[in-house]
């Protein structure tokens, strides 16, 4: 199934209040809107976004970071904060990713300052 992106215009105060409420619920404004629209359209459960499920799937290494951030509508700092709040860990790197990271860190440490 293909996806469509939409945009809406909100007063700043409405946006702030809605974003605050979404965060209070442990979600994002994007996820709440998607679920609301799915309710209107009669979507099946698979089309709905459950932020906790997205976080858990990312924590287990089943979905990439970029996908988790996109679905939740947050940046990497937000993803890390949400994982911590949910009591979930950052996924372990695959062996090839671990090696690439170690090489990059080594190059950074060896670089002249």
- For the chain, the domains span 12-110
pTM of the model: 0.49
Distance CA 50, CA 111 (A): 43
pLDDT score of 45:
56
Q: Which two tokens stand for residue 108?
A: 């950074």
| Full 3-state SS string of the chain | CCCCCCCCCCCHHHHHHHHHHHHHCCCCHHHHHHHHHHHHHCCCHHHCCCHHHHHHHHHCCCCCHHHHHHHHCCCHHHHHHHHHHHCCCCCCCCHHHHHHHHHHHHHHHHCCC
pLDDT(17) > 90: yes
Distance CA 29, CA 74 (A): 10
For residues 87-101, average pLDDT: 82
The pLDDT-based confidence of 15 (bands split at 50, 70, 90) is very high
């Amino acid at each position: 199934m293909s996806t469509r992106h939409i945009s809406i215009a909100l007063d700043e105060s409405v946006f702030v209040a809605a974003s605050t409420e979404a965060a209070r619920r442990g979600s994002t404004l994007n996820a709440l809107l998607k679920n609301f629209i799915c309710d209107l359209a009669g979507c099946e459960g698979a089309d709905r976004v459950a932020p906790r499920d997205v976080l858990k799937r990312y924590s287990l290494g089943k979905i990439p970071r970029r996908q988790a951030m996109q679905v939740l509508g947050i940046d990497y700092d937000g993803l890390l904060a949400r994982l911590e709040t949910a009591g979930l860990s950052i996924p372990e790197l695959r062996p090839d990713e671990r090696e690439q990271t170690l090489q990059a860190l080594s190059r950074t440490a060896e670089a002249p300052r």
